[in-house]
Amino acid sequence: MPLVTRTGQVSFAPKGDKGDKGARIRMRVWGASVSYLEGKQGQQFYDIVLYDNLLYLCIRSHTSVSTETPKQNVASGKIKYWEVAQSWTFIATKLLLTEKIKASMIDADGIRAVNVDISGKITADSGRIGPFSIDSGMLSSKTLYEGTDSHVGFNLSAGQIEFYNERTFARVKIGGNTKFVTIEGISYDAGIDIQSPNAMIGMHIKTLSIPLFVEGGNIFLHPNNDSYVSLHGIVGNWRNISVSTSLNNNDDNVMFINTGNIEVTLPPDVPGHTIYFKRMSGGVRLTGGRILPAPGGKEMSSIDLDYASGFVKCMGNYWVMFYCG
């Protein structure tokens, strides 16, 4: 079988040169004896200058002279080297969107930028940043519950942080300017204030670790007159005492393990405060308050513990003794 072949000629075009990348913007203050470029093919820059508080675009490459400023050139009938900014049709897209310029070069109102990455310092006294509003030194944000006209949001200022829920009326305030008023009508400063007037919604903390650890000042649990406080598994403070000392407001249970005689001063009057005690072999004298040996007894300034165990309870302005056994 004959072998059939076909030949032809293939031409290869030479590889072309890379195209011109185009001129880039160059901004500066106008001066004499300076070479300015219009940005035509082969030139690296096109020049924009600031003169007499106006911007001018170079439309013909030239070297400037002191006797013909951009303002004079635009007003003259000579060859035009400059075009004043007001007649630029490309100012928004060319200057603001496609070129990199410094913030110090911009002095304008109503500028809107899209997909801008910002680094460095931002100063804003009012307005919006995404979902956040700035007004009177406060940063805030809120959003609607789906299908309702109620908001949930926060307000942040130098003095206070507030989280609120208009649907449940719950509010949490944190900060130095936070105050609250008790049922008795007394106003207090509070670092954290949680308000939830909705009878069906409160605060829930659940964790396998220590869920609440409060250290420091007084702790008040004040239910309404028709409410109560339910506490499970209370473990009171315990202290062993062997020498003369003073009892504290946070003492719940004390054991006197002294062998000789000691004198112990009662804490300041806190109505309702109860201190349980256990005395071992030594003598103990309580002093430092208005003491009643029993309800209805005669007031004393000190009392010796004659029984091994009992408790002393602050009732009004008196410490009243109760004995066990």
pLDDT at 103: 56
DSSP 105: G
What average pLDDT does the segment 231-254 reach? Answer: 92
- pLDDT band at residue 245 under the 50/70/90 scheme: very high
Q: CA-CA distance, 252 to 218, in Å (whole number)?
A: 14
pLDDT digits (tens, 9 = 90+) for 198-211: 777 777 778 887 77
Strands 284-292 and 318-324, sheet pairing = parallel
pLDDT at 280: 92
What average pLDDT does the segment 22-47 reach? Answer: 89
Out of 2.10.10.20, 3.90.1570.10, 2.40.50.100, 2.30.110.10, select the CATH number for domain 24-105.
2.10.10.20
pLDDT digits (tens, 9 = 90+) for 39-59: 999 899 889 888 888 889 999
Q: What is the token pair recorded at 123? A: 């100063």
Q: Where are the domains of the chain?
A: 24-105, 141-195, 238-324
pLDDT at 188: 79
Tracing tokens 């035009």 back to the chain, one arrives at 80
- Which candidate, 268, 190, 182, places its Cα nearest to that of 221? 182
What average pLDDT does the segment 128-157 reach? Answer: 89
Neighbours of 132 (CB within 10 A): 14
- pLDDT band at residue 104 under the 50/70/90 scheme: low
**What DSSP assignment string belongs to 197-245?**
--TT-------SS------SS-------TT------S----EEEE-SSE
What average pLDDT does the segment 1-6 reach? Answer: 40
DSSP 68: B
Q: Please check whether residue 56 is in contact with residue 48, taking contact to mean a CB–CB distance below 8 angstroms.
A: yes
Share of the chain above pLDDT 70, in %: 83
Summary mean pLDDT of the chain: 81
Q: What is the pTM of this model?
A: 0.49
Q: CA-CA distance, 95 to 102, in Å (whole number)?
A: 11
What average pLDDT does the segment 79-93 reach? Answer: 67
